[in-house]
Amino acid sequence: MATTPAPVQDRSAVRSLLRLWPYVRPVRARLFSAAFVAILASCVGLVIPLVLKWMVDGPIARRDPAGVWLGALYLLLLGFAEALLFGLRRWLVARPLTHVEASMRAGLYRHLQRLPVAFHDRWASGQLLSRATTDLMLLRQFLAFPLTFLLVNGVTIVVGVVIMLLQDWTLGLVVLGPAVPVVVTCVVFEKRYARVARRAQDQVGDLTTVVEESVLGIRIIKGFGRHRSQARAFRDLSRTLRGTELRKARLLATIWGVIVTLPEVAIGAALVVGVVQVADGALSAGTLVAFLSTALALRWPVESIGFLLAMSQEAATATQRFFEVMDEETEHTASGHATSGARTGAKDPRDTGLRFHHVRFRYPDAEPGSPPVLQDVDLHIRSGESMALVGATGSGKTTLTALVPRLHEVTSGRITLDGVDITELSRKALRAKVAMAFEEPTLFSATVGDNVLMGAGDTAGTADLERALAVAQADFAHALPQGTDTQVGEQGLSLSGGQRQRLALARAVVGQPEFLVLDDPLSALDVHTEAAVEAALRQVLADTTALIVAHRPSTVLLADRVALLSGGRIAAVGTHHELLRTNAEYAHLMSGEEEGAR
């Protein structure tokens, strides 16, 4: 299973969240408006204690029923205005934030398509899925609520404290007593919660990977009776995630306990001191009511600090995880290869066809000091020629074919098509010239026709589809329930291996490419179908330049010449019969006696 590389840097929560600004900037007007409306609503709520003070010291003290009713009307209007403003805030943020989430998800998907194959080899698919779903949902929730209310509650607390100090500064100091321990608790909590939140979100990605692999590999699990072991692995990961979530809950309970308890004790102390002052005549009853009402109105902004910080930390972690992918270099921005001066950029008119010029390749994440997969590969497939590539398992055949469309970049040396270095071509132009059929045929959740026509330009039509199906001997497609409009399902698992391989071959030839790279394209076919496909494929190979990975003599005989890859080098080149006579290793491979040969 692919793993997720560890994060290379540990950003603060604020620095991480600031990276969201390019996505938020298009909707900043509505977000700022929503924040202003929320602040206004909170300030309206702080006016209510002042109305209560007026009522207690005025109409109630004078026993004026008309004044009491007027005060009640004021309170009703203020409450209605506060509710209306908070409703307006939610309306302001709903549409723009769904747009932000959608644009980030679309950007992540586009970026994933442009990342090199080496990236996808390293990363677990579940980790990528969790970043595109759970993490982006967390970010939308953060932008909708915690981001606004960290600002709103901060302003509310400041305004409320000022109002309390203006009412009675001694009571204000009593209430402000817990401020220092609360701030210290928040700082400690932030650091600890950030680590646990990151661990939890990574574990969600691991769990997603297990679920995805279990669904895609359900035939293997059932076939080998491994459902209990898979369930056990899933249960272990679930328990690990549960433990991490409980750790988060304990941290949140701790900070919430501190944030709730200390202010409550302070309010109780202020109540005692205030009652004493009222009894002594040093403070009016209305002032004490207004002070305590303001203090109680600040309970929610203060108590919310705990879970707002928790949600902010989770959002910061989600942001880091999102940008861990977005910061990866795409194929278009990643550096090419070290050519040591071999690349000149000039076209050699004699260098037609497909040519490997002293190509060397090692995987970027290979162990230091390990030998390269390919070294000093020098091979020329002439224009219009078909070359079979033969070698033992692990000799680097598939890797060599992947270098042609630049699924991997060569470490040194160069590859040319009709004399032009492939790095001089855009990937779009290169892949329009080169078509591939992989050993493991991958089909998408689409119709048969759509899967095949993926290998052609936008102008391809029914005639091209029929021709490609005929070449690949894939006429079975017409017998499917809806013909070529039949949905093949995820991974094409509703079809047999041979049917999938024939559709993959049809996809490779439908665009009539100038260069064709086939990685053991007939391995899943029965003898009779293989013979029919070979007969049709010979017509295609007559009009293109082809490199064919082959393991069986019948496939080798499709090619004009054969290249033997051994130890990462081209050991011999010749016709099939020449190599049978002159090369013992090739004769051994073709005899089918090699232990472990594919």
Same domain, 102 and 36: yes
Non-local (6+) Cβ contacts of 518 within 8 A are 436, 437, 505, 508, 546, 547, 548, 549
Report d(CA 465, CA 467) in Å as an integer.
Answer: 5
User: CA 67 → CA 59, 61, 529, distances in Å?
Assistant: 5, 10, 97
How many angstroms separate the CA atoms of 72 and 113, rounded?
62
| Bigger pLDDT: 594 vs 31 | 31
What is the amino acid identity at position 543? D
131 & 239 share domain: yes
pLDDT tens-digit profile of 312-369?
888 888 899 899 899 988 876 544 444 433 444 455 556 688 999 999 998 877 777 7
Looking at the fold, whether 194 and 94 belong to one and the same domain comes out as yes
Highest mean pLDDT among 105-114, 484-493, 499-508: 105-114
Residues 91 and 199 in one domain: yes
Are residues 293 and 389 both part of a single domain?
no
Closest CA to 45 of 100, 96, 102, 86: 86
Quote the CA–CA distance of 234 and 230 in Å, as a whole number.
6
Total number of residues shown for the chain: 598
Q: What is the DSSP letter of 591?
A: H
Is 0.85 surpassed by the pTM of this model? Answer: no
Q: How confident is the model at residue 145 (pLDDT cuts 50, 70, 90)?
A: confident
For position 452, what pLDDT does the model report?
Answer: 86
pLDDT digits (tens, 9 = 90+) for 432-479: 888 888 777 778 878 888 888 887 766 677 888 888 888 888 888 888
List, for residues 13-51, the tens digit of each pLDDT value.
788 888 888 888 888 888 888 888 888 888 888 888 888
Give mean pLDDT, residues 403-427. 89
Say whether pLDDT at 590 is over 90.
Answer: no
CA pair distance 460, 482, nearest whole angstrom:
20
Residue 569 placed within a domain: yes
Quick check: helix, strand or coil at residue 352?
Answer: coil
Q: Are residues 431 and 321 in the same domain?
A: no
Query: Does residue 335 sit within a domain?
Result: no
Last-in-domain residue among 302, 326, 350: 326
The answer to whether residue 229 sits within a structural domain is yes
- Whether residue 449 lies inside any domain: the answer is yes
Domain membership of residue 135 (yes or no) is yes
Q: Distance between CA atoms of 199 and 323, rounded to whole angstroms?
A: 17
HEC string of 465-519?
Answer: HHHHHHHCCCHHHHHCCCHHHCECCHHHCCCCHHHHHHHHHHHHHCCCCCEEEEE
* 241 shares its domain with 129: yes
Q: How far apart are the first and last CA of the chain?
A: 22
CATH code: domain of residue 393: 3.40.50.300
Q: Cα–chain-centroid distance for residue 101?
A: 13
Last residue of a domain, one of 326, 344, 371: 326
Mean of pLDDT values over 118-134: 84
User: Domain for residue 241, yes or no?
Assistant: yes
Q: Crossing angle of helices 305-326/179-216, nearest 10°?
A: 40
Residue 595: is its pLDDT beyond 50? no
- What is the bridge-based pairing of β-strands 569-574 and 561-566? antiparallel
* Higher-scoring residue by pLDDT: 455, 586: 586
Residues 289 and 204 in one domain: yes
Distance between CA atoms of residues 574 and 58, nearest Å: 109
pLDDT at position 10 is 55
Instruction: Please give the single-letter amino acid code of residue 566.
Output: S
Name the β-bridge partners of 548.
388, 518
CA distances from 512 to 41, 398, 415, 539 (A): 66, 22, 21, 11
Whichever domain contains 265, its CATH number is 1.20.1560.10
**Angle, vertex CA 217, rays to CA 212 and CA 221, nearest 5:** 120
Question: 11 or 321, which is more confident?
Answer: 321
Domain enclosing residue 185, as ranges: 13-326
Q: How far apart are alpha carbons 534 and 441 in whole angstroms?
A: 18
Task: Give the pLDDT score at 270.
Answer: 82
Write out the two tokens for 371: 């030998």
Q: What is the pLDDT of residues 226-239, one digit of tens each?
A: 778 888 888 888 89
Quick count: other Cβ atoms within 10 Å of Cβ 158? 11
Identify whether residues 446 and 524 lie together within a single domain.
yes
What is the number of domains present in the chain?
Answer: 2
| Residue at 533 is within a domain | yes
The answer to the question of residue 22 being in a domain is: yes
CA-based angle 62:67:68, to the nearest 5?
Answer: 90
Q: Does 541 lie in the same domain as 393?
A: yes
How large is the angle between the packed helices 65-114 and 28-55, nearest 10 degrees?
160
| Residue 198 structure tokens | 């990151």
pLDDT tens sequence across 249-264 = 888 888 878 887 888 8
Q: pLDDT digit string (tens) for 172-210?
A: 888 887 778 887 877 778 778 888 888 888 888 888 888
Residues 437 and 504 placed together within one structural domain of the fold: yes
Angle at CA 110, nearest 5°, toward 105 and 115?
A: 120
Q: Where are the alpha helices (DSSP H) in 281-362?
A: 285-297, 299-303, 305-326
Contacts for 471 with CB less than 8 Å, ≥ 6 apart: 505, 506, 509, 533, 536, 537, 539, 540
Same structural domain, 388 and 306: no
